[in-house]
């Protein structure tokens, strides 16, 4: 609680949040009506404004409203628009304990019926300044200002009220411009036919994109369809080292697959958590706890 280096760019002050469940909160209550209110982001406003300004010849008309509100999400956001989201999901990666076994990657690929190269959570082997190797798992960062969303021409990318960026694969036309926009290489394309999957408990939908759809983009979804039933994402559940934590900024707790439960804000502050590529202004919701002199901004990936 004494020091929260990440707090400045997190609009919802985690710990204080439960005391003030409604009214005056910047994020959830900013704009009641459109479900995509939390998606209003600086980058999109800038792009939208600049392009609209440049396109004087085109009669914008009714589109102006759309510009102001951002593009409509492809599907209705799960939570009711007028009620602030109950959760704001985040992930913590404790780099100190990762042994590079890649069981998280395998678990994810098994659960989502992905091909081996669709490493939605990838584990990079990095080298620190002292020349030592360490392992860096990288899921989707669930950016608060995701660059991948505003570039999609058909609004197939959207961010839910609970802070999860999803792809509507029934709308994606496969331009791959979101793969270009994501600074974390977190997006994967279905270059061929997807791995066949048996009948799933949920229909194919953005929060449970199984099976994948040929010619569309897929990415880590934080196992969004599992979260409401109290399950942690597959990678979190299967990590034998307890490296990965699923966190909720609303209730300020995080749990890992070994059953450890921590108070999120304290855990991050005490361990000097950092975010990857913070300078890009994406406000990732994935926190890294560096252990042994790691510096994500300067360490090398070893091929």
Partner 1 sequence: MSDQQASVPSPLDDGVRAREDLRSAAMRPVLERQRWWWPAVVVLGAVVVLGVVAWAVQLADGLGVAGYNDQAFWAVYEADLVAFIGVSYGGAVVSAVLRLTKATWRAPLTRIAEATALVTLPVGMLFIVPHLGSPQRIWELAWPPYWNLSSPILWDFFAVSTYLLATAVFFYLPLIADLPVAAERLAGRPGLRARCCRLLYRALGGAHEVSVPRRRLIEGSIGLVAIMVIPMAVSVHSVLSFAFASSSRPGYLETIFPVYFVVAALYSGIALVVLTVAAARRLFHLEAFIHPRHFVRLGFLLVAFGAAYLYLTFTEYLIDGYSGTSGLAAWVRQDLTGRYWVPFWFYFVAAGVVPLVIMMVRRARTMGGVVTAAGLVVGALWVKRLVIVIPPATEPLVRSPLAASGVLTGDWGTYHFTWVPISITLAATAAVPLLLLVLFRFVPILPIAEMEELESYEEELAEAVEITARTPQPSPRGAASRPLIPPASACAPATLTTATTPPGRLGSPPGDVGGLAPGRGVAFGWPR
Q: Is 213 in the site for ligand SF4 (CB under 6 A)?
A: no
Compute the half-sphere exposure of residue 54: CA atoms within 13 Å on the CB side of its CA.
6
Query: Which of 214, 228, 272, 293: binder of partner 1 (CB under 8 A)?
Result: 214
The radius of gyration computed from the CA coordinates of the chain, to the nearest angstrom, equals 19
* Partner touching 303 among ligand SF4, partner 1, none, CB below 5 to 8 Å by kind: partner 1
Q: Is 29 in the site for partner 1 (CB under 8 A)?
A: no
Supply 243's token pair.
């490296």
DSSP state letters, 175-228: --HHHHH-TT--EEE--SPPPP----SS-SBTTB--S--TTSEEE--TTTTTGG
Query: Which of 70, 146, 206, 233: binder of partner 1 (CB under 8 A)?
Result: 70
Neighbours of 22 (CB within 10 A): 9
* Partner touching 150 among ligand SF4, partner 1, none, CB below 5 to 8 Å by kind: partner 1
**Cβ–Cβ < 8 Å for 252, 17:** yes
- Report the nearest approach of ligand SF4 to the CB of residue 147 (Å): 5
Alpha helices in 247-291 (DSSP H): 264-270
CA dist., res. 165 & res. 162, Å (int): 9
> Which span sits near partner 1 by CB under 8 A: 76-84, 92-100, 106-114, 149-157?
149-157
> Which span sits near ligand SF4 by CB under 6 A: 66-74, 110-118, 240-248, 287-295?
240-248
Supply 211's token pair.
């099976």
* Partner touching 152 among partner 1, ligand SF4, none, CB below 5 to 8 Å by kind: partner 1
Q: Is 99 in the site for ligand SF4 (CB under 6 A)?
A: yes
CA dist., res. 168 & res. 139, Å (int): 18
**Cβ–Cβ < 8 Å for 276, 131:** no
Q: Binding to ligand SF4 (CB under 6 A): which residues in 57-96?
A: none
Q: Is 47 in the site for partner 1 (CB under 8 A)?
A: yes
Bin 104: left if φ > 0, else alpha if -120 < ψ < 50, else beta. Answer: alpha
Binding mask 100-119 for ligand SF4 (x = CB under 6 A): xxxxx---------------
Which residues of the shown chain bind partner 1 in the complex (CB under 8 A)? Answer: 44, 47-48, 51-52, 54-55, 57-58, 63, 66-67, 70-72, 117-118, 122, 124, 126-127, 136, 138, 147, 150-155, 171-177, 179-181, 183-185, 187-193, 213-217, 280, 297-303
Which residues of the shown chain bind ligand SF4 in the complex (CB under 6 A)? Answer: 98-104, 123, 135, 137, 140-143, 146-148, 165, 182, 184, 186-187, 219, 239, 241, 243-244, 282
């Amino acid at each position: 609680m004494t020091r929260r280096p990440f707090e400045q760019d997190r609009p919802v002050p985690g710990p204080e949040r439960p005391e003030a469940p409604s009214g005056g909160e910047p994020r959830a209550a900013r704009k009641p009506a459109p479900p995509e209110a939390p998606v209003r982001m600086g980058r999109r406003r800038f792009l939208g404004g600049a392009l609209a300004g440049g396109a004087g010849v085109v009669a914008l008309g009714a589109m102006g409203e759309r510009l102001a509100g951002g593009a409509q999400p492809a599907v209705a956001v799960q939570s009711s628009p007028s009620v602030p989201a109950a959760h704001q999901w985040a992930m913590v990666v404790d780099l100190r304990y990762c042994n590079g076994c890649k069981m998280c990657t395998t678990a994810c690929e098994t659960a989502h019926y992905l091909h081996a190269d669709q490493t939605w959570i990838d584990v990079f082997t990095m080298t620190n300044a002292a020349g030592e190797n360490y392992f860096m798992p990288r899921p989707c960062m669930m950016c608060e200002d995701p660059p991948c969303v505003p570039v999609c021409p058909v609004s197939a990318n959207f961010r839910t009220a609970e802070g999860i960026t999803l792809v509507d694969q029934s709308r994606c036309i496969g331009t791959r411009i979101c793969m270009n926009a994501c600074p974390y290489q977190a997006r994967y394309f279905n270059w061929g036919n997807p791995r066949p999957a048996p009948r799933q408990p949920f229909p194919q939908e953005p929060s449970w994109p199984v099976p994948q759809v040929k010619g569309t983009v897929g990415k880590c979804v934080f196992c969004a369809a599992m979260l409401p039933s109290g399950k942690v994402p597959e990678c979190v559940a299967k990590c034998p080292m307890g490296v990965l934590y699923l966190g909720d900024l609303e209730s300020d707790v995080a749990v890992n697959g070994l059953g450890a439960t921590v108070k999120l804000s304290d855990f991050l502050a005490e361990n000097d958590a950092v975010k990857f590529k913070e300078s890009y202004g994406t406000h990732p919701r994935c926190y890294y706890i560096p252990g042994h002199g790691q510096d994500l901004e300067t360490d090398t990936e070893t091929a």
